[in-house]
Chain A
Amino acid sequence: MRLTNIIAALVLLGLSATVLLGTWQLPYWADFAPGSSFTAFWVGIIGIVLALSLLVTAVMDDSTEPHSFPDRSGILRIVALTAGLWLLVLLIPPLGFVTASILFCLFLLLGIERRPIVPSLFTTVIVVGVVYGVFIAWLGIALPTGPLGI
C-alpha cells in the first residue's frame, strides 16, 4: 500500500501541475468576478497540498500492509480485457458496431473466460440481438455500420 500511495501522490502532483500550467495564461480575475483560471488555480493548489500530504504520510508510514493489486495472472486478465475493449473501439469504425461487438463477446467469453462454446455463442446472439433490437431498430440510434450494412 505504501508504494501505491506514493505513486498515487506523484500522479496527483503531476495532474495538479498540468492544471496549473494549462490554465496559467488565462485571466485570474475579470471585472467583478473571478476569471477563467481562478478555480483552476485553486484546484491545482489543493491538488498539490493533498498530494504532498499523501506523499509525506506514505513515506512516514512503516506498516507493511500489502498492496491490493492482483497477482500476475490477475494483472494479465485485466490487461487482456482492457486491450480487448480498446481493440473493440478501434474496430468499430471499419467493421461497424455490431460486428465488432460480436468479435469482442467471443474474445471475452472464449479467449479470456474460456467458457464452453455453445453458451458463449448463445450469449453473443442475445447481447447483439438486444443491441440491435433496442438501440438500432426501436430507438433508431445511428450506430456506425460496417461493410455488411449493420
Chain B
Amino acid sequence: MDALASLANGFAIAMTPTNLLFVLIGVTLGQLIGALPGIGPSAGMALLLPVTFGLDPVTALVMLSGIMYGGMYGGTLTSVLVNVPGEAASVMTAIDGNQLAKQGRAGQALAVAAIGSFLAGIGSVTALVFLTPALSSFALNFSAPEYFLLALLGITATASLGTGSALKAMIGATLGLMIALIGTDPIQGTSRLTFGSLDLLEGIDFLPVAIGVFGIAEILVSMEQTQSGQVVRTRLKDMWLTGKDWAECRMAIVRGGFIGLLIGLMPGAGPTVAALLAYVVEKKASRHPEKFGHGALDGVAASESANNSAAHGAMIPMLALGIPGSASTAVLLAALVLLGIRPGPMLLTEQADLVWGLIASMFIGNVILLIMNLPLAPLFASVLRIPYSYLVAGILIVSLVGAYAISLSLFNVGLTLVFGMVGYLMIRADIPRAPLVLAVVLAPMMESALRQSLMLSEGSGVIFVQRPLSAVLALLVIGSLCLPLLSFLLARRAARRAGVAEALSHSPD
C-alpha cells in the first residue's frame, strides 16, 4: 500500500502543468531523436542536457527520461520504413519490420511496435513501483559468469538465425566476431588488429555497422534497377492490426517484455542486448520460425517490447543503487549530479518526491507515446509513398550525417560506407546479416565476461556452475545446444523407421 500512496503522490507531482508539458516535450523530442539514425537517446539527452540546467530537478528528469524511452518508440520508425536502425536497440526491428513494409504492412509493424512498447513499458514501470528493492538486489546477483553464459546463449543461437544454411549463418557470425575483436583489449590494454589506426583504438562502433549493413546495403540492392517510380500502395484501412495479427503477437509482447525487463535490470547489458535476445528467443518460441527474416510481425513485437521494457528496467538499478544499466541511464545520473542530487542507495528515501514523480511521469509518457504513435502509424507509413529515388537521396544523406554525429569524425562515415558495401556483398553471397549484428554486440560482452569470471575465481571454471543463477543459465545453454541435436536425431530415427517401414511395405513378400 505504501508504494501506491507514494505513487499517488508521484502522480500529483507529475500532473502539474509544467511537468506534464515537459513530459510531452521530452517524449516528442525522444521520438524525433530516436528516429534519426546515428543519434541515439543517450546522445540526444546529452545534447539537450544544458536545456535542463535552469529547471526544477523533477521537471528536468521527467523530460530527459522522456527522451530516453521516447527514443525507443522513435527508433522503430526508421528501422521499419527505410531499414536504417534509428538507434542501436532497434536493429532487430529493421530485419523483419522492413520486410513487412515491403509487403505493404508497414502500418501493422509500426502499430504492433507501438502497442508492444506501450504494454512492456507500462509493465516495467509497474515492476518499478512495486519491486524495485527486490529487483535491484536480484540484479546484483548478475556478474561476469552470468553475463558470459547469457552472451553464449545468444551466440549459440546464431546458427539458427539465418534464413538459409546454418553454415552461412555461422560465417555471418564469424565476420561479426572478427569486427568485435578490433580495438583495445579492455582487460589487458593491448591493441588488437588496429593496424596502427587511432580511430580503431576504441574498436568499431556498433552504429556504423548497423547503419551500413542494413540501411546502406539495402539501398545498394534496390538501386541495381532503375526505380520505376512504383511504390507500395496501401489503403489506410489496411494498415490496422487484424485479430489474427494480434493473436500472433500477444505472447511475443509478453515474452519480449519480460526478457527486456530482466536484461534491462542488469548493469552490464542494455536495450540492444535485450532486443537481440528477445528476437532470438521469439524465433525459438514462435510457431512459424521460418517467417523470421521474411517479415515476422511477432519478431518486431518481441524486440520492440524488449527494448522499451529494458529502457525502463535500467531505471531500477539506477534509482535503487545509483548504478547506470545503460548509456542513457548514465546520462540521467550525470544530470542528477549536475542538478545537485547525489544518486545512490538513499535516493529512494531522500528524494522520494523526485523518484515517484519520475516514475509517475513514465506512465504518462508511455500513454502519450501510444497516442502519438498508434493513430499516426499509417501517416508515418505514408512516407513510403514518396517515390523511392527521392527517398533514397534523403536516407543516404541523413544516415551519413547520423554516422558523422556519432563521434564527429568522417572516419565513422567511411566505416558506414565500408559496412554498406560489406552488407551488399553479403546479401549477394546469401550470407545472413542478423548473425553478424548479434555477434558484434554479444562477442565483446562474452569475451570480457569470460576473462573477468576466471579472474574472479582465480582460474577455476567451477564459477560457471557454482553460483545458483549461473548454474541455471549453464543448463539453458546446454539445453539449447542439445535440444536441436536431439530433435534432429529423433527426426532422423523416425525417418529411418518410416523408411524401413516403407521399404518393408514395398518389399515383395
Contact = CB atoms under 8 A, between A and B. Distances in A.
Contacts of B195: 22
Contacts of A26: 185, 190, 192
Interface string B180-212: 010001011010110100000000000000000
B397 A81 contact: no
A34 B450 contact: yes
Nearest to B195: A22
Interface string A127-150: 110110011000111111000000
A36 B185 contact: yes
Nearest to A39: B447
A127 B397 contact: yes
Q: How large is the interface on A (under 10, 10 to 19, 20 to 34, 35 or more residues)?
A: 35 or more
Contact of B397 (A35, A53, A101): A101
Given A81-B220, A139-B47, A123 B394 contact: yes
B190 A130 contact: no
Contacts of B447: 39
Contact of A123 (B188, B393, B455, B459): B393
B455 A31 contact: yes
Interface stretch (B18-26, B274-282, B329-337, B428-436): B428-436
B372 interface: no
Contact of A53 (B167, B227, B394): B167
A15 B426 CA distance: 15
A36 B183 CA distance: 11
Nearest to A47: B174
A117 interface: no
A114 B227 CA distance: 10
B171 interface: yes
Given A43-B174, A89-B410, A135-B401, A78 B393 contact: no
Nearest to A104: B397
B417 A19 contact: no
Contacts of B39: 139
B171 A8 contact: yes
Contacts of B181: 19, 23, 39-40, 43
Contacts of B421: 82
Interface of B: 32, 36, 39, 44, 47, 167-168, 170-171, 174-175, 177-178, 181, 185, 187-188, 190, 192-193, 195, 220, 223-227, 389-390, 392-394, 396-398, 400-401, 404-405, 408, 410, 413-414, 417, 420-421, 424, 428-431, 443, 447, 450-455, 457-459
Interface of A: 1, 4-5, 7-8, 12, 15-16, 18-19, 22-23, 26-27, 30-37, 39-40, 43, 46-47, 50-51, 53-54, 57, 67-70, 74, 77-78, 81-82, 85-86, 88-89, 92-93, 97, 101, 104-105, 108-109, 112-115, 119-120, 123-124, 126-128, 130-131, 134-135, 139-144
The 6 closest A-B pairs by CB, nearest first: A33-B454, A32-B459, A74-B224, A70-B224, A33-B451, A36-B185
